[in-house]
Structure 1
Amino acid sequence: MRRFFTILVPLLGLWIWRGKYLLYYSILTRPDLPDGYYYRGDVSTHCSNLNSSPDPAFKYCEDASFWELHDTDGKLEERRVIVSCDSGRKQWNTVMGPLLNPTPRGSLWTYSPTSGKTTRLTLENYPENHTFHPLGVEIYPSYAGNASYMYVVNHAARKTVIEQFLISPSSSVAKHIRTLSHPLFIAPNALALTSPTSFYVTNDHVFTRRLPFIGSFIPLVETIFGLPLSFAAHVTVDPNEIAEKSVLAHTLAAPFVAFANGVSVSPSGLEVAIASTSTGAIYFYDRNIANNILTFASSVLVPFAPDNINYDHDGNLVVSGHPHFPTLTKLAANKTDVAPSWVVSVSPVLAHTSSEFDPEATLSASAIVPPSNNRTIQTLFQSNGNTLSSGATGLKDTLSGNVYISGLYAEQGVMVCRN
């Protein structure tokens, strides 16, 4: 027993020191956030629900990503938004629980800023008895109207897999191509494409809620103690859609991450960012484009538990997350109605010597986390949950200026804030 405590006490000390900002500001205390703050102006005039007359299925939306449509000359015509939602999340959530009823299917949606319409995608050729609980979603750009491959993490009843679809810009039908599975798809969460048939995927835990007997508490231990057991991998699939072996290669890309969550590739392709939810940090890696090997470069702390991340087209990383994790767990358990949201933009700078940054926000990020040597933080949106609950993903469209925010347990699904 003495040996056990000899090992445990230093580990606890290391965790407290490493995650002290997240522990104090996002777990032990609840930050004083406004009903709604938007960096471009008043929330009530700039922000609205993405779907003004939402379908009952358009809620509890975890991920969103841009679908770029280019013309025959390669010029960008429109950035649509793909959204993954699961109205049954409070009955089936393999990350936070519970695991009660996997039968009701989640849904996929597209939003066109040109038409202003939100459309539910029809899943064609999807196996009748195959459950569908979408989380991470990514889609390859379309050129000259060509159909695009779309990949969706599916927290299905038996195990978590990745679904591959084909979708055309002129259609609202997503044709199911195949289900991708691999022994090391332990707990897939988020995706970042590197080609039409390859991507990075994070696995948020090694011990999951699916495990018999220990699944109800061991994943919580992994989360709370910030154990660096999760990882990101690079996956290559066979371009032949009817190939017997779909996954051609699965390579460990970023090991030893605590609760690896969102992942994104920079516009240049030379940098990859991964969110560590348990430590309140974003890890930046240099990427070798030739072989997709990642080399750790730096990290930055954010003022909340980060969820999904997305580079905008100027190279800034948009990070969304949860400023008070205990409230989020209560919301998942139906013990409260809303949970706070916070979205920031993390931008590279040559040097950051001042402790003052993010000065315009109602609650500045500088009040919670120290400055970084090479990154700066600007709040785009924050809410105590009354304007948007449990923000999970933020997207910033540099073309239109729109900011899109999805809510993990938001009744309105997704909010759009315009200039």
Structure 2
Amino acid sequence: MVAGVLCVLLAGFALKTMRDAGQFRSIAPHAPGKCKPVSGMPGAEDLTFHPSGEYAYVSSHDRRAAMAAGAPVRGDIYRYSLSGDTPPVLLTGSFQGTFQPHGISLYVGPTGAQTLFVVNHLPGHRNTIERFEVGSDGLLVHRATREGPELVSPNDVVAVDAERFYVTNDHGNPPGFWQTLEDYLQLGQGNVLYFDGQHFKKVIEGTTYANGINRSHDGATVYLAQAVGRTLDSYSRDVATGALTLRHSLALDTGPDNIELDAEGNLWVAAHPKLLDFAAYAGDTTGKARAPAQVLRLSGTDADMKVTEVFLDDGQQTSGTATAAVFGKRMLLGPVFEKDFLDCELP
């Protein structure tokens, strides 16, 4: 009798997990225009445009190669020109030490000076936020390393000025068994940190896979994507203290990843419509597994926010897309593991 009840409970839990992960969803691929693959920057998990739209910064790390080697593999930051007349430019060749970049954020000051913040993963579950300035030659000059025990599992970062930023911890535990348990039991143990120029402090707690983070152009609103929670949350930001107050939580029928804004302030969110497919794809050392990729455009604010699905692929054209960066009629799609990212046309 007890065994039968346990079997029913386990079956119910499995079905709920599959439903929550979007496994029963049908995928009908569509794209707004032609997409071309861009090589030379594998694992382009995060991309962001310079406000001019002339180029984008690309965070590249060949995670498949690292898995195969069982050891850290060097990643780098590149500059990708939209004109297409120059090859990608390596910007972090002078940076010393282990460099496995993840999320990035660009801050452009009133004078045009550029600061780039980069999440960096080190051996032994150490993590840092690296601060770079763009030199007169366009290359990145390392200026500071921000590190602390609060950086448990950092994923994405968003700058509010040349010194201060927010960073997401997608889990409350470092990689391993307990982190996996967080995901499958949908435990809210992640958080968001604020670095005030001197110290880290928690400003959001209890998140279920806090993933992408960004801010409105005026800096008054911070947007947070919770992948397992399947929400896009809008927070009012206290400019003086960095404190965040939840204003609205939008339920999404997908697992949102990174968030980018276009010039008009619309949000572009890359997402994983089948989270268990993505988990299998992420853990596949052969590179044969595929996971669907999705892009949403969100316009408006709070309860009036409108969601439009702009791109959906079954994993054949691209797989596991983490970022959709848009400027004008160009959309760059950055995958977590693929060798190429996509440069797409918008109507």
TM-score category of the 2 structures, normalised to the smaller one: 0.7 to 0.9
Unpaired runs of 5+ residues, structure 1, are: 69-76, 93-97, 210-214, 238-247, 351-372
Post-superposition CA distance 1:354-375 (Å, at most 9, x none): xxxxxxxxxxxxxxxxxxx432
Q: Given that residues 65 and 81 in structure 1 are in contact (C-alpha distance below 8 angstroms), is that contact kept between their aligned partners in structure 2?
A: yes
Post-superposition CA distance 1:334-353 (Å, at most 9, x none): 35342110000122268xxx
Runs of at least 4 residues off by over 6 Å: none
- The structure 2 residue matched to 1:107, chosen from 69, 73, 76, is 76
Q: Given that residues 61 and 414 in structure 1 are in contact (C-alpha distance below 8 angstroms), is that contact kept between their aligned partners in structure 2?
A: no
Task: State the match for 1:59 in structure 2.
Answer: 42
Aligned-pair CA distance for 1:271: 1.1
Q: Given that residues 254 and 271 in structure 2 are in contact (C-alpha distance below 8 angstroms), is that contact kept between their aligned partners in structure 1?
A: yes
Q: Given that residues 200 and 233 in structure 1 are in contact (C-alpha distance below 8 angstroms), is that contact kept between their aligned partners in structure 2?
A: yes
Q: Given that residues 121 and 174 in structure 1 are in contact (C-alpha distance below 8 angstroms), is that contact kept between their aligned partners in structure 2?
A: no
Secondary structure of 1:253's match? strand
Task: State the match for 1:218 in structure 2.
Answer: 178
Alignment of 1:244-283 (within 5 A): 248-283=198-233
C-alpha distance in 1, partners of 2:162/2:129?
14
Task: State the match for 1:344 in structure 2.
Answer: 296
Alignment of 1:275-314 (within 5 A): 275-314=225-264
Task: State the match for 1:410 in structure 2.
Answer: 338
- Quick check: 158-167 or 226-235, which moved more? 158-167
Task: State the match for 2:320 in structure 1.
Answer: 390
Residues 78 and 348 of structure 1: is their aligned pair in 2 closer, same or farther, counting only changes over 3 Å?
closer
Q: Which amino acid aligns with 2:137?
A: S
Task: State the match for 1:48 in structure 2.
Answer: 36
Residues 339 and 257 of structure 1: is their aligned pair in 2 closer, same or farther, counting only changes over 3 Å?
same
Secondary structure of 1:28's match? coil
Task: State the match for 2:310 in structure 1.
Answer: 380
Aligned-pair CA distance for 1:414: 3.6
- The structure 1 residue matched to 2:150, chosen from 184, 187, 191, is 184
C-alpha distance in 1, partners of 2:73/2:134?
23
Residues 124 and 317 of structure 1: is their aligned pair in 2 closer, same or farther, counting only changes over 3 Å?
same
C-alpha distance in 2, partners of 1:166/1:85?
18
Aligned-pair CA distance for 1:317: 1.6
Q: TM-score, normalised by structure 1?
A: 0.73
Unpaired runs of 5+ residues, structure 2, are: none
Aligned-pair CA distance for 1:112: 2.3
Task: State the match for 2:191 in structure 1.
Answer: 231
Q: Which amino acid aligns with 1:86?
A: H
Matched, 1:82 2:82: no
Aligned-pair CA distance for 1:232: 0.6
C-alpha distance in 2, partners of 1:334/1:251?
36
Task: State the match for 2:31 in structure 1.
Answer: 38
Q: TM-score, normalised by structure 2?
A: 0.87
Residues 91 and 47 of structure 1: is their aligned pair in 2 closer, same or farther, counting only changes over 3 Å?
closer
Aligned-pair CA distance for 1:206: 1.1
Aligned-pair CA distance for 1:115: 5.5
Question: When the two structures are aligned, how many residues end up with a matched partner?
Answer: 337
C-alpha distance in 1, partners of 2:186/2:103?
22
Q: Given that residues 131 and 143 in structure 2 are in contact (C-alpha distance below 8 angstroms), is that contact kept between their aligned partners in structure 1?
A: yes
C-alpha distance in 1, partners of 2:145/2:240?
27
Larger Rg: 1
Aligned-pair CA distance for 1:379: 1.0
C-alpha distance in 2, partners of 1:236/1:114?
37
Post-superposition CA distance 1:43-71 (Å, at most 9, x none): 4xx3222x3xx22xx11111111222xxx
RMSD: 2.8
Q: Which amino acid aligns with 2:31?
A: Y
Q: Given that residues 65 and 395 in structure 1 are in contact (C-alpha distance below 8 angstroms), is that contact kept between their aligned partners in structure 2?
A: yes
Q: Given that residues 120 and 172 in structure 1 are in contact (C-alpha distance below 8 angstroms), is that contact kept between their aligned partners in structure 2?
A: no
Aligned-pair CA distance for 1:235: 0.6
Q: Given that residues 149 and 167 in structure 1 are in contact (C-alpha distance below 8 angstroms), is that contact kept between their aligned partners in structure 2?
A: yes
Q: Which amino acid aligns with 1:313?
A: A
- The structure 1 residue matched to 2:163, chosen from 197, 208, 211, is 197
Matched, 1:119 2:114: no
Q: Given that residues 188 and 206 in structure 2 are in contact (C-alpha distance below 8 angstroms), is that contact kept between their aligned partners in structure 1?
A: yes
Q: Given that residues 22 and 254 in structure 2 are in contact (C-alpha distance below 8 angstroms), is that contact kept between their aligned partners in structure 1?
A: no
